[in-house]
Each structure stands twice: as C-alpha cells, then as structure tokens.
Structure 1
C-alpha cells in the first residue's frame, strides 16, 4: 500500500477533528447558563483536559515541546482564546446568521495571510472550492440574518480573524506541535471569563452537558484541528470547518427539533457536494501520481 501523503493525512486529521466538534452547537444550545459562566467552565475544563492528554502524549518532554513552539505558539494560544470568546460573544449580541456569515470568511482570510506573510500559494481549484463553500454556508445563514448590536458584529470579526490567523501561524512552523499551546489558550478563556463574573456554579444539569462537551468532544476536536496545518494549508483546514455548520445544524435539528429552512438545506448540499467532488479529484490525483512513480521505478530497473 502506498504511503499516505501529507495532504491526505491532513484531510483525515482535520476532518476527524470537525466530526468531534460537530456536537458543540447542540450541547451549547441545550444549556441555560449565561455565556460568561459557560466560557469560564469551558476554559477551565478544556485546560485540564489538554494538560492531561498532552502529559500522556509527551510525558517528561512536554515543557521542552511547548518551548519549541516559541512566540508563534503563544500567538496560537491567544488566537484560540480569541476565536472562542469572539464566537460566543458574537452569538450573544447579534443574530446567529450574522456571526456565521462573518465566520465563513475564515478560509479566505487564512489564504490571504499565508500569501502575504509566508508567500504560500493555493491552486486555482482550491480558490474555487473556497468560494463555492462560502456561498453554500452563506445560504445556510441567510434565513437567520438580521440586525444586531455593533459589538456582536465586531466580535464575530475577531473570531474569524483569530481562527484564520491561528491556523496560518501554525502552518508556518509544521515541525512544532502547536496543539500544545491550547493549554495556554484555554486558561486565558477561563481567566477572562472569571474577570467578568463567570466563576459561578452552573447547576448539575448544565454542568453535566458542559462536562460532556469539554471532556469527550472538544479536546480531541481542538487538538486534531490544530494539528491539521502541519500537513495541509491553513485555508483548507478552515474550509473543512464549514462542515461543522452542516453537521452541527443537522444534530440541532435531530435532537432539538429546530427545523432549518429550504436555503439551509440547499447551502448544506452545496458544501457537501463541493467537498465530495474535491475529495474525488484529490484521490484521483494521488492515484495518478502513485501510478507514475511506480512506472518510473519499473523503468529504472529495466536492463540497458
């Protein structure tokens, strides 16, 4: 069996991370605590989960591995906190559709940042895929769009830029495991929320859902998605995150009976179709490349 390419590995890692992330919207919507309380416990439990997981992964080499991330690693931690705080605050102060439309620009922001700072270029096919998927995600959000407070729109923009720049910076140092710096980012979320009065007991009912989210789903999702840029351009990792809008929306519909409108179904179909077509094209290219290499190897072994 041919060795898996970095690109394929990146798609599998980031795609699995998106699957783990998908229950996020469902579990957030099923809690009734104020956002600042939710953020405090989310940050605290994630920090503990990241610390345990990475201690098992690296053991005595954890601190040296974190130091190897350098200043860019610190930025990734801050950006992780910024994307979480921006998303939750944006949802609180403006319509969900406004937040999703702004957040859907993350793939373009990531691609532009990678090109401006590190001169990383994307093929035309990827740009077409990004634009098609953003169009589909925007259709999904159109039904919920509405007027909101300026603070909500600003924080949604902070979330989009933080997410995109986090993945772009992580991509710039693929030799370092930037997922280790999520410990720092989660602690920062907890501290900021505590400063705004979030250090309150949410009640056992809501705490059970927050615990399930922050122990079973988000740690694996965050680590896998943060690892994706080691093998895949940041814009393409951001692109895969649009799948969470589709799968997460389906779970909310399934368990909470929030029926999406026709535009949401159309947008979801566009995203899934575009990503599926891209996957088939990428698989065909990989098989063709492997076949050429195999033929070249046979030719080199022929007697003169």
Structure 2
C-alpha cells in the first residue's frame, strides 16, 4: 500500500468513526457534566494507551516536558471539548458541526496575527467568507427553527479555542504535544467531576456511552492523528468536511432532527468555502512542500 493510499484510508476511517459521535450524544440522556467526565476520561485513557503502545513508557516525564505552552494547549483543547458538548445540548447537530469545522481557518488567521506568518490570499478570502456564512447560520437561530443562537455562539467559541490550540502547537514545533491530549482529557474529567453531582449512568445509556468512550473517540483520534503523516493536511481537512454532511444525515435518519433552512444555506456556502480552500491548499502543497504542524509523530489538521 502506498503512503497516499494509507493516508487516505486513515482519514476516511477517522471521519467514519467520528461521525456517530453527535448521534450517540443525542441518544443518551446524560446531563452535560457527567457526559463530559466520561469523554474526558476516555480521551485521556485512549491517548495514554496509544502512547504506551508506541514505546513511550515514561508518561509523567513527557507530560512535564510539555511546559507552559503544552499546558495552555491542553487547556484550549479541554475547553473546546466542553464547549462542543454544550453546543450540542443547545442547538442542532448541523449547526454545531458546520461552525466548528471552521477551526483550521481561524487557526491560520490567528497564526498571522500571533506568529506573524504570511497567509496566502485564499486564506484571507476564506476568513471573510466563513464569517459571512456563520452570520447566516447564527442569524437563522433567531427564528427558533430547530437551532439556538446561544448554541451556535458556543460552537463558534469552540472553533476559536481549537484554533488557539493549533496555534500554540505551531509555536513549539519541536515539542512533542501528544501528551497534551492526556492532560486535556484529565482537565475535562476533573472539571466535570467537580460540577457533575452524580455520575450515575442509566442502563439504556451504557452501550452508547461505552461505544463513544472506548471506540469512537480513541479510534477516530488514532486515525486522524496519523493521517497527516502520509498526506497533506489540506487533503485531510477536505476529507474531514464529510462529517459536516454525514453527521446531520445520520442524526436525521435516527432521531428525525432536521436541518434548519438558514443552516442549509449557510452550511452549503461554508462547505464550498472550506472545500475550495483545502483544494487550493493541496495544490499549493504539491508545488512547494510545506512543513506541517508536528505533534510528536503526527501533524495536526483539525478536530474536536
């Protein structure tokens, strides 16, 4: 199998595995904080097992080696995780997935502001068009048609914190950042534990929770973390856009949650913008090799 084929297989597998995430959240009747506790524990344990399997035995030292930037990155990813679930609890799946998919665009924008990186014209255009599409999506929630401006704004903050995490990683390219996922998951679990009150899980919720924590989150993480090792990050981003389509479709099929008209219009525009930006980025990658953002052994493209 060629490197290209391996990268494509990993990216598509990661998208297919992560797609049921939002449906499983919808199917469960857990409150927000207990759900976040188990998500955080699952992420921390999954990444720890992955790290040990790669022969990295001394986890404590590797976590300590993250430094303040690594801790800040973990806080950003932990916050993004908590905002993701809170957004799902308040607005439609389609709105949440559409808005959080813009994280790579904001990361590029913040890199220009914070790291003084020079951005191509296509990225500046994508930033402006993305902002317009989000205004359409959030504005549609004002009519109360299956979405909520509050949930939409929370999703936007999720994308911002995820983007901030990407920028922090890029600022320290020589530091192995995989352990920050362990720290981030642990932070989520601790904060959630302190706010949950009860962590009891009803019997009907056990199976979807186990699938989410032990299969969906760690499985998608392993695939999406390693995919950029074999194919360009813009190509991974382009494949990840499938979740924006497949996630709402799966939830609509299972529980009948429809897509608000404003989300359909804004989401379609957003999909086109992100697809075009990733395609142009992939072409630019082919002309001149770009140094990817390294996170230990893998590059970061996007994610929750």
TM-score (norm 2): 0.72
CA distance in 2, matches of 1:46, 1:81: 10
CA distance in 1, matches of 2:163, 2:195: 26
**Matched residue, 2:245:** 246
Q: CA deviation at 1:35?
A: 0.9
Q: CA deviation at 1:79?
A: 1.1
CA distance in 2, matches of 1:194, 1:27: 21
**Matched residue, 1:69:** 66
Q: CA deviation at 1:195?
A: 0.8
Deviation track 1:164-201 (CA, whole Å, cap 9, x = no partner) reads: 11111112223333222111111111111111135422
Alpha-carbon contact 2:106-2:160 (below 8 Å) kept: yes
**Matched residue, 2:295:** none
Q: CA deviation at 1:262?
A: 4.0
Alpha-carbon contact 1:98-1:145 (below 8 Å) kept: no
Are 2:135 and 1:126 equivalent residues in the alignment? no
Q: Which has the larger Rg?
A: 1
**Matched residue, 2:49:** 52
Are 2:228 and 1:196 equivalent residues in the alignment? no
Deviation track 1:251-287 (CA, whole Å, cap 9, x = no partner) reads: 2122222232444444444344444444554555555
CA distance in 1, matches of 2:22, 2:104: 20
CA distance in 2, matches of 1:30, 1:259: 15
Deviation track 1:73-100 (CA, whole Å, cap 9, x = no partner) reads: 21111111111122333454x5458867
CA distance in 1, matches of 2:162, 2:283: 30
CA distance in 2, matches of 1:267, 1:150: 14
- Partner of 2:210, secondary structure, is helix
TM-score (norm 1): 0.72
Task: Determine which of 106, 109, 113 is the counterpart of 2:110.
Answer: 113
Q: Which moved more, 1:122-131 or 1:25-34?
A: 122-131
Alpha-carbon contact 2:112-2:118 (below 8 Å) kept: yes
**Matched residue, 1:295:** none
**Matched residue, 2:19:** 22
Alpha-carbon contact 1:107-1:239 (below 8 Å) kept: no
CA distance in 1, matches of 2:280, 2:237: 19
Alpha-carbon contact 2:105-2:126 (below 8 Å) kept: no
- Cα RMSD after superposing both structures: 4.3
Q: CA deviation at 1:160?
A: 3.5
